[in-house]
Amino acid sequence: MKTIAGISVESLRDVLHYNPETGIFTWKQTGKGKRAGGIAGNTRPDGYRRINVGGKLYYAHRLAYLYMTGEWPKDLIDHANMDPSDNRWCNIRACDQRQNRGNRRIDPRSRSGIKGIHYRADCDKWWAYICPNGRLKSLGMYKTLEEAMAARATAAKEFFGDFAREGKC
């Protein structure tokens, strides 16, 4: 039995059941604070669910990955729809830091309301930019918002692939 990050897939499956369609873990056994069939863990204020297994807290999305693949994720787990409480198997995917960065919401301070686009009043143009490796990369200045958005979308697809998230999200 191989132990991964303090827990083996076999021991995880012994104590918890994971429903890949709902993303919910339920207890298989009754014990201290646990009721067989009861929903496991609790949700943090930021929306992530954590479950105490064997005296150690684990994020539910990481346990789901272990439960389904038999392997602990090598790096990060991304929620495709950006909802950290949605741990359905179709919504979580292994990723690296760069890919995870591509699937972020728009900065709430954005004045344009569109990710990676800023209006420059001094030259009456739209500036498109992207941060593929944590460093800002300018994509140029454009006369129209549509041109800037097209440049940003192309760059996002190039740098982030399927993890690219564009527009007003």
Taking every pair of Cα atoms in the chain, the longest distance, rounded to a whole number of angstroms, is 67
pLDDT at 90 over 90: yes
Q: What is the CA radius of gyration of the chain?
A: 20
Residue 22 resides in a domain: yes
Segment 35-72, tens digit of pLDDT: 888 999 999 999 999 999 988 999 999 999 999 999 99
Q: Identify the weakest region by mean pLDDT among 10-14, 33-37, 140-144.
A: 33-37
Q: Identify the weakest region by mean pLDDT among 36-50, 82-96, 147-161.
A: 147-161
pLDDT at site 70: 95
State what percent of residues in the chain have pLDDT above 90: 52
pLDDT at site 123: 93
In terms of pLDDT, which residue wins out, 57 or 167? 57
Segment 99-130, tens digit of pLDDT: 777 677 776 777 777 878 888 989 999 999 88
Residue 119 resides in a domain: yes
Dist CA 4 CA 76 (whole Å): 15
- Are residues 88 and 11 part of one domain? yes
CATH of the domain at 8: 3.90.75.20
- Are residues 136 and 90 part of one domain? no
Say how many CA atoms lie within 13 Å of 166 toward its Cβ: 20
- From 71, 95, 119, the end of a domain falls on 95
Neighbours of 65 (CB within 10 A): 20
- Are residues 66 and 116 part of one domain? no
- Are residues 109 and 91 part of one domain? no
- Are residues 82 and 11 part of one domain? yes
- Are residues 89 and 31 part of one domain? yes
- From 95, 130, 147, the end of a domain falls on 95
Token readout for 142 is: 């454009």
- Are residues 84 and 14 part of one domain? yes
pLDDT at site 156: 82
Number of domains the chain contains:
2
Give the range of the structural domain holding residue 77, as residue numbers without chain letter.
Answer: 3-95
* Residue 141 · residue 134 · CB < 8 Å: no
Residue 154 resides in a domain: yes
Residue 169 resides in a domain: no
pLDDT at site 12: 94
pTM: 0.70
pLDDT at 17 over 70: yes
CATH of the domain at 146: 3.30.730.10
- Are residues 138 and 64 part of one domain? no
- Are residues 18 and 72 part of one domain? yes
